[in-house]
Amino acid sequence: MANELRPCPCDIGDRSDYGGRGQEVQVEHIKAYICKPPASTDKAVIVIHDIFGWQLPNTRYITDMLTTNGYIAICPDFFVGQEAWKPSNDWATFDDWLKTRNASKIDKEVDVILKYLSEQCGAKKIGVIGFCWGGAAVHHLMLKNPHLKTGVSLYGVIRFFEDRSSLLHPTFFIFAEKDEYIPMEQVKQLEQKLKQNCKVHYEVKIYPGQTHGFVHRKREDINPQDKLYIEEGRKDMINWLNKYL
């Protein structure tokens, strides 16, 4: 059993010192980190951060990786100025902290970012990826938002998911076999519901031996035994986006 005082996954992992190749911008009431590829494109990806917020270097690293694969990539501050979780915080206060940061209450911010990507960046095909808390937000958006083409939910915490599975867009779910915060039983139940109710293409993939956060909070140079799966998860994410955007 996971420690009940730690209801969310989150040691910060191998925090990188990555500085980022993009820039910070103000989009109406939202701060955001954006990176654009050298060649013009009409494809964009919104990156939804985990509980550690939009400034986590690891998340910016993935944002830039999307750009090297030809996408405009933007990671907005979906906490809208509220403090991100810090590893030094008391986990006993986590549920109270979470009450003002609901992963299914980001529609207003997403609409602002979609408008910005369309009007300021020329994006016509827009997808979304998200990690942990952000993975649950992706699930919500795939149920609701008609303007997004596809989504990738990376170890989205299933207990934050809405209890619906009639997705509107193709969605890829990445889970870690040894994730102590997302029991495999919950993943199996999610698969069952998707099988019964989902009319669009979806995939649920479990990566053997991996723990929560492996795609963005583990570094392949520090975890040689996990390198294969870290790289595979990143490649699978890009391949899914390439297929549907």
Alpha helices in 17-106 (DSSP H): 57-68, 94-99
Considering 139, 169, 212, 216, which one is annotated as catalytic?
212
Considering 35, 64, 132, 226, which one is annotated as catalytic?
132
Q: In whole angstroms, what is the distance from residue 27 CA to residue 143 CA?
A: 25
Considering 50, 64, 77, 179, which one is annotated as catalytic?
179
121 as an active site residue: the answer is: no
Report long-range pairs for 145-150 (Cβ below 8 Å, ≥24 apart). 145/107, 145/110, 147/114, 148/46, 148/114, 149/125, 149/244, 149/245, 150/240, 150/241, 150/243, 150/244, 150/245
| DSSP 3-state of 193 | helix
132 as an active site residue: the answer is: yes
11 as an active site residue: the answer is: no
Q: In whole angstroms, what is the distance from residue 155 CA to residue 129 CA?
A: 11
In this structure, which amino acid lies at residue 29? H
Catalytic residues: 132, 179, 212
